[in-house]
Amino acid sequence: MQFYKDGFRGGNPDIHPAAPNRRNRGLHEPLPEQVDVLIVGTGPAGLCLAAQLSRFPEITTMITERMSANIIKGKADGINTRTMEMFQAFGFADKVKRETYWVNQTAFWMPDPHNPDHIKRVGRVQDVADDSSEMPHILINQARLHELFLEVMKNSPSRLEPDYGWELVDLTIDPTTDDHPVTVTLKDSVGVNWGATRTVRANYVVGCDGGRSLVRKSIGAQLVGDEVVQRVQSTCVRAPDLMARMKAPAAWAMFTVNPRRSGNVYAIDGRETWLIHNYLRDHESDFESVDRDWAIRTILGVGPDFQYELLSKEDWIGRRLVADKLRQGRVFIAGDSAHLWVPYAGYGMNAGIADADNLAWHLAAQLEGWASPSALDAYERERLPITEQVSHFAMNHAHAMSQRRRAIPADIEDAGDAADASRRSFGQDLYELNVQQYCCAGLNFGYYYDASPVMVYDDAVAPAYSMGSFTPSTVPGCRAPHVWLSDGVSLLDVLGTGFTLLCSPHARAEQTALMQQAMHAARVPLTVRVMDDRHTWPAEYRHAWHLIRQDSHVVWRGDQITPDLAMSVVACLRGELQA
């Protein structure tokens, strides 16, 4: 039941009133001739971007996909806490939380040195530290996440749905006009008119079309970095009796190491479906040289009597590749189109969603008319350095894991005191290495934007971070530290579209009004929230005012507001003060 100021009103609150200018989705309706934003690809990045833009009735968005339908089973399943915070900013987090497994803590188990046939818990780490975020770390299969994005899109004012079965074959940019300057040619790839082409003109095009991105190639961007980090055989199997063979409670992720073969086993449904990664040795450059069935049985520790059904398999190469640019004019790339790396710490799908979240509000600001065209430079200047940093974190961790697999003690499966000592030492080393990626607070909360043209920097320097650790900070460019407001509402819950001005209890109201007036005059969306003096605030919020944008990044802070300063801050946020 819902209550409104005018009384109860029935209906589904997830279904928004339809926009009058929405596209007609009739079966025989042609593709639109022009749109504001055209997104190529329905992976996590493309769907997240589409879901966010679909909330704006005045923005016409189109999303195309060469495949005939949504994926049935996804490769990824982890949504980190920072991504959930991004979802919260556009009202999507609760929908995801209702259907997912929350990872409240991560436990680490290893063979018991006193009873090698059994394992014991050797470590337990709280996944999200107290007060670091309102949001949990969750598990959900990528395919289901896609479906939830699609529901949001279909129930939005624009009633947005993907155009499946249309493959991008060409993209051109007309530099002489600002009126829908990007023309894309789409080919019917699965329909009754197979091979037929259509053209659509767009104000902006975003390529979320994967590692072989045609959009990336169209803007002359190149992937640079390390072509081979590791080779992996991945196999999805159905094995109903595997859990019964385990000598300890089943876990979501299981690492097995022995001198013959090492790999990971992930529980897909918690019952009978498992994903097995076999990490090839350095000299094994040919996937076919490694017997897949033998590797699976060796990793699982089972004999020839064990039965399983092969559901799918894939041989893949982990790389560290980042595009040398993310934009040309009004064409952008995001997700796997912009970067490819080994998905350690869950930063494969999550990185693409972060790209989409960043770009969504930049594009909305353009199409709502309150940001200057130069503000779009912020997307590349914010996201490109971060993707480069994260790619090195992932590669370095992959190399460290590969080094450990090469250094497995020869006596790790033996009995006796010496073997017990080897297992303890090697196990502790693996524990210390992997707790960083499975409880990666640094990657979640520590990264910052230090060269954005739409942030007002001061003399302070953002604190360094690692994969596993960070220091909360309100230095402009950093994520605003989480805080509970006096009425029990999370800071995340008040960061709406645009910006939030967080005022200390002692901030002068007349100066707050100056910032409000300047933002209003420029049509920049602003929410004002005054801190309660009865509340104990984190030490990081030591300034009178903190201006935070909807993705939780601090864009300005200060202890005094004058008319000139307010106008200068607003001009920067709009992208008007670039050198």
Residue (of 220, 164, 207) closest to 38 by Cα position:
207
Q: Do both 239 and 208 map to the same domain?
A: no
CA atoms 298, 304, 306, 308: torsion sign: positive
Distance in angstroms (rounded) separating the CA atoms of residues 49 and 158: 14
CA distance 340 to 350: 12
SS3 state of residue 188:
strand
**294, 329: one domain:** no
Dihedral sign for Cα atoms in the order 385, 387, 390, 394? negative
Read off the DSSP letter of residue 273.
Answer: E
**What phi and psi values does residue 116 have, to the nearest 5 degrees?**
-60, -20
**Are residue 562 and residue 462 in the same domain, yes or no?**
yes
Tell me whether residue 14 is in a domain. Answer: no
Whether 15 maps to a domain, the answer reads no
For helices 44-53 and 349-368, angle between their N-to-C axes, nearest 10 degrees = 30
Burial of residue 427, with CB atoms counted within 10 A of its CB: 0-12 exposed, 13-18 middle, 19 or more buried: buried
Residue 54 DSSP SS3:
coil
308 with 362, same domain? no
Asked if residue 188 and residue 52 are part of one domain, the reply reads yes
Distances (CA, A) of 402 to 138, 231, 266, 408: 27, 11, 19, 10
Q: Which residues contact 387 (CB under 8 A, 6 or more apart)?
A: 322, 338, 339, 351, 355
- Do 66 and 173 share a structural domain? yes
CA angle (436 as vertex; 430, 441 as ends), nearest 5:
165
What residues have CB less than 8 Å from 459, skipping those under 6 apart? none
d(CA 450, CA 266): 37
Tokens of 164: 């499946």
Token pair 């450059």: residue = 285
Which two three-digit tokens encode residue 111? 């063979």
Given 278, 293, 317, which residue is the final one in a domain? 317
22 falls within a domain: no
Do 110 and 232 share a domain, yes or no? no
Q: Residue 527: CA atoms inside 13 Å, Cβ hemisphere, count?
A: 14
Per-residue pLDDT of the chain (579 residues), as tens digits, is 444 555 666 778 888 888 888 888 877 789 999 999 999 999 999 999 999 999 999 999 999 999 988 887 777 888 999 999 999 989 899 999 998 888 877 777 777 767 767 777 777 777 777 778 889 889 898 999 999 999 999 999 999 999 999 999 999 999 999 999 999 999 999 877 898 999 999 999 999 999 999 999 999 999 999 999 999 999 999 999 999 988 777 788 888 888 999 999 998 888 899 999 999 998 898 999 999 999 999 999 999 999 999 999 999 999 999 999 999 999 999 999 999 988 776 678 999 999 999 999 999 999 999 999 999 999 999 999 999 998 998 899 889 988 998 899 999 888 888 988 898 899 889 888 888 887 788 888 999 999 999 999 999 999 999 988 999 999 999 999 998 876 678 888 888 679 999 999 999 999 999 999 999 999 999 999 988 776 677 889 999 999 999 999 999 999 999 999 999 999 999 999 865
Residue 13 within a domain: no
Helix (H, G, I), strand (E, B) or coil at 357: helix
Among the candidates 139, 159, 174, a domain finishes at 139
Q: Check whether residue 238 and residue 378 sit in a common domain.
A: no
Q: How far is CA 306 from CA 253, 301, 489, 526, in A?
A: 20, 10, 52, 62
Polymer length in residues for the chain: 579
pLDDT at 380: 98
CATH number at residue 468: 3.40.30.120
HSE, CB side, 13 Å, CA atoms: give it for residue 271: 1
For 347, list phi and psi in degrees, rounded to 5. -95, 55
Residue 116 lies in a domain: yes
- Helices 509-521 and 563-573 cross at an angle (nearest 10°) of 40
Within-domain flag for 4: no
Which pLDDT belongs to residue 223?
97
Which segments of 407-448 does DSSP mark as H helices, in order? 417-438, 441
Domain that holds residue 533: 448-573
Tell me which of 317, 345, 380 is where a domain ends. 317
Q: Within this chain, do residues 497 and 569 fall inside the same structural domain, yes or no?
A: yes
414: domain CATH number is: 3.50.50.60
pLDDT recorded at residue 253: 85
CB of 206 within 8 A of CB of 40? Answer: yes
CB 446, CB 470: distance < 8 Å: yes
Q: Is 354 within 8 Å of 338 (Cβ atoms)?
A: no
Taking alpha carbons only, the member of 409, 304, 405, 266 closest to residue 291 is 304
pLDDT of residue 66: 95
Residue with tokens 């749905």: 161
217 lies in the same domain as 233: no
Asked whether residue 24 is domain-assigned, the answer is no
Buried b / exposed e across 28-43, counting CB within 10 Å, b at 16+?
A: eeeebebbbbbbbbbb
DSSP SS3 for 106: strand
Q: Using the 8-state DSSP alphabet, how is residue 287 labeled?
A: G
Strand partners, 109: 121
Per-residue DSSP letter, 445 = I
Do 455 and 352 share a structural domain?
Answer: no
| Residue 1, pLDDT score | 43
CA distance 554 to 501: 10
Count of domains for the chain: 4
Residue with tokens 């009978």, as numbered in its chain: 272
The packing angle between helices 81-89 and 349-368, to 10°, is 20
8 within some domain: no
Q: Are residues 363 and 431 in the same domain?
A: yes
